[in-house]
Structure 1
């Protein structure tokens, strides 16, 4: 199975409240790193859905636009500020 962790998506800037750090998500890999390393908590329906879609995108079974939407919803659920960058 060929994995593509660098599938691009429209950028999202995430601002995490407890760490006061920022992360720009531009690829499926960025999304995976944010979800697995930076996310304030690893529970919640939107969080799990975002992880699933992220994996789907990486293995070619999902679309980057679906991942972007899932990340925005998961951010809202977790209290993470998400700034959607539009080109």
Structure 2
């Protein structure tokens, strides 16, 4: 069973110029990685997708998925306020 978990603090990304998205949970992070990312082949995106899925399954702590999501957003130059 997939279980969504809210992050302690949200992550703000800008997937397209002028479009800002606030990511507040595991589900929102997974959706952003699937729908808003500028490339499928970025290594940190792949890692973040795997970690988010594991966290949704309950196999990994949400803070690890949040950390990997932030690293993927940095790699893709989407992270705001960084």
Residues 1:12 and 2:26 aligned together: no
Match of residue 55 from structure 1: 53
For residue 63 of structure 2, what is the aligned residue in structure 1? Answer: 65
Aligned residue for 1:57, secondary structure, equals helix
* 8 Å contact from structure 1 (residues 12, 83) kept in 2: no
Closer, same or farther: CA 61–76 of 1 in aligned 2, 3 Å: same
What is the TM-score with the length of structure 1 in the denominator?
A: 0.83
Question: Superposition pairs for residues 39-50 of structure 1, below 5 Å?
Answer: 39-50=37-48
Where structure 2 has 5 or more consecutive residues not aligned to the other structure, the ranges are none
Greater RCO (Cα-Cα under 8 Å, separation 6 or more): 1
Could you list the structure 1 runs, at least 4 aligned residues long, displaced by more than 4 angstroms after superposition.
none
TM-score (norm 2): 0.88
Give deviations 1:13-56, integer Å, cap 9, x for gaps: 1112x443111111111001100001111112101000000000
Unaligned 5+ segments in structure 1 are none
